[in-house]
Amino acid sequence: MSRRRQIYEGKAKILYEGPEPGTIIQYFKDDATAFDNKKKGTINGKGVINNRVSEHIFTLLGHIGIPSHFIRRLNMREQLVKQVEIVPIEVIVRNVAAGSLSKRLGIEEGTPLPHTLLEYCYKDDALGDPLVAEEHIACFGWATQEEMQDISAMAIRINDFMAGMFAGIGIKLVDFKLEFGRLFDGDFSRIILADEISPDGCRLWDIETNEKLDKDRFRRDLGGEAEAYQEVARRMGLFPEGGISEVLDLDSERKKRGK
């Protein structure tokens, strides 16, 4: 890792300069945070799983024509992506009421929504990523109206695809967060999907039991978070070669040797 220049360290990932101009390496950590960084911990093997889950989902989305920054996975914890200018908006896609929506509007968690709801939050840790309206986004120039049209259309297509994919493996896609970026080509730029899609940024409930299979296990001190991430990966059919535990054992061995 030290051979590369670090560009940025976030809560769950480290970004390194990529091998060619215009590329970046995303390194997935096991670190977990919640409630604006007030709760901190680690989820064993999370980085390995999120790298794989995100690779899988971005690849499938590519097949249905959703452009993304993903180029290829490099190893257990790293993937090569295109460098983009991140749009400072978190797009929250909701199918079922949960989390901040339930709290804000007093709607019981688990209530199905009559149609998919898109919400936008301004990406600013110091402000706690406040909810904003499209008018704020246009007013403060965070994204143009054209860009927001592309973003919302892509978010709906991504949700349709992912909700179906997860339903097929007995998982309810309650809500999730997306981030987009601008890919520049000379003076022009286009919007592509960026960041990651993993159980860190999705609410995933077992369809039969409503058991939580995502970061809420960590946020709400439910325990079993590492097992929940593994269960999602297992149902997705990832890690076919020797199973997840073998891959995670190899990863912890490498970590020990590296440190």
Which residues sit at the interface with ligand UDP, rule CB under 6 A? 90, 92, 98-101, 129, 175-177, 201-203, 215
> What is the nearest approach in angstroms of ligand UDP to the Cβ of residue 200?
6
Nearer to ligand UDP, 231 or 251 (CB): 231
> What is the nearest approach in angstroms of ligand UDP to the Cβ of residue 174?
7
> What is the nearest approach in angstroms of ligand UDP to the Cβ of residue 169?
18
Q: What is the sign, positive or negative, of the torsion defined by CA atoms of 147, 201, 57, 212?
A: negative
Structure tokens at 79: 């993937």
The CB-nearest residue to ligand UDP is 99
Please, are residues 203 and 98 in contact by the beta-carbon 8 Å criterion?
yes
**Residue 251 host element (H or E):** helix 243-258
Nearer to ligand UDP, 129 or 251 (CB): 129
Residues paired with residue 181 on neighbouring β-strands, in sequence order: 86, 192
Nearer to ligand UDP, 98 or 191 (CB): 98
> What is the nearest approach in angstroms of ligand UDP to the Cβ of residue 235?
18
Closest CA to 28 of 51, 6, 7: 51
Nearer to ligand UDP, 90 or 251 (CB): 90
Residues in Cβ contact with 23 at an 8 Å cutoff, skipping those fewer than 6 apart: 71, 80, 81, 82, 83
Separation between Cα atoms, residue 206 and residue 213, nearest integer Å = 7
> What is the nearest approach in angstroms of ligand UDP to the Cβ of residue 38?
11
Please, are residues 93 and 178 in contact by the beta-carbon 8 Å criterion?
yes
Nearer to ligand UDP, 73 or 212 (CB): 212
